[in-house]
A and B are shown apart, each in its own frame.
Chain A
């Protein structure tokens, strides 16, 4: 696919494994630095989903991996890793283009995630997320 050429910081893969295999973090946020490299911006060890979405920058794009825990109707507990491509409508067009064209680079490093494209708060609303996660099987 047409890509920006932006690369992924080497340590990002380790960070991803820490959340995927080690369940060390509730979520991690990635940012493109200097229009050239995707790096881990911040992590949170404990957080509710509500708390997390409150921390999303309103006018800037980001990528997020969130360890989402949920319960099925029958009471069974499940856990899925979400990959959120956060591109708010109010972000600068340059930012939107950069993150959209670099998404493939980071996605390649993240195995077994459910992808969410979100341009506003309603698209990261927990009800919407839960639907998507359940649908992904």
Chain B
């Protein structure tokens, strides 16, 4: 492949920008059009979400991994290099969004002409505003029947203080006015402020793993230049590498001779794992260290779930599937784990529930694996008071991620739970319901202020485990989707935690044990018992389903015994059918879990533990 010469693009001709929007407002479609207009991709009918390469992205219509593309555009005689950085929109990935934005000098803010400003519009606007980026408002979907661009322009003026005449009305689907957007990008967004004479300073805003070439790090150069043969160092790992290849993305890899300050592209330097090129890291030349770019965070898992193969014979297949999937996702943490009931497996850490769902979906689609996921948990801590345990663990503070490891109250001086500081932006009519929801989740209000005459921003300190399951959905549903939610880690707080066991006829069921706050135990226990009652088949004796804390029973359901279970007629043709059914049931017995004398089908637990999706 011919290498491009990037030296023909001086810093003044470069524009680095991102497109931000609320979900489904047309971000990716607009990106498709921009790629077409600039000739980066040929104009065909098949260009849909071109930058969303993952199947799960295309199916769910979401962007999970940030991709970038370098576009070339001639405007009034000058050749410009426009670097478009696509961003994930979900709150789980706000860190990725903020890193992508730090590589930009401006953003295109897309708003649906009918829906108007929505939660993520606001959240993303603030991210861009705080990063002091130029903002180009674009009102999209003007081709649709209910479009009301004038109303939206006024919303934008009121909320963001941007004059209505700066808004561009487009239809990304039809291509209407999209060229104007490009021109505005050139006119309004400033070129990057950096110098090729400075030492190399490159921000890693994404990385992918390629089997043949190793880790491909997506970088934005804040200073200096980089080319094949250079020795570079990662500020985070301190490891040194030799650069094999540099290039830009169009959106596929296009090697170049060099990359210069202000440009965006990729670097391949013999890194073997994506953990060696983490998002937010800074790369510099060997012997020329620079101040690392601010805002780097090591991926912090917020939600843990146990993952087990549906059958132990599948263990090795699942193991290699996990290894390959995590090659490309350095934000998933993996620990080996095992359960009496489910055998050998893992406990995985995710950035959030969407992250976990997407991961699971990718596992199914790309690796054809179906797995057993146990209840999501968060990393609790305990400060030990028992000398014996302290000696055993080698320290006095331990992190508990598997309920089986929960140390008894007597050996502990304090339990701690992780908390987050959550920010909710909502129209004022939903304040009451939202406050009630937050109080219900043991949250403490930290701040409340009106950001304009209609909208309120609330800040609450939440225990993390109260929001990981369905807080976001509940918030959306009681605010008709208008409230937005964002959160950040806020350390640990003391908590009255207990371990709740589930018993069947007095025998504990290990995989259903949960660590929970004392105040929530009854409700959770009752729900679990009710769900189990529906999923365990009746047997020849009565089954007592109980939730217990230590020896104390806090909830109970009873599954009555069968008093009649025999088919009425069995003649002729029925006999063959009957035998088939009976033999299937006999087979099924082998797969049953026996808890004491109670037979439980394997999927009973999964059904009980599985998060209720989209009620």
* A and B part of one assembly: no
Q: Give the B-binding residues of A (Cβ under 8 A).
A: none
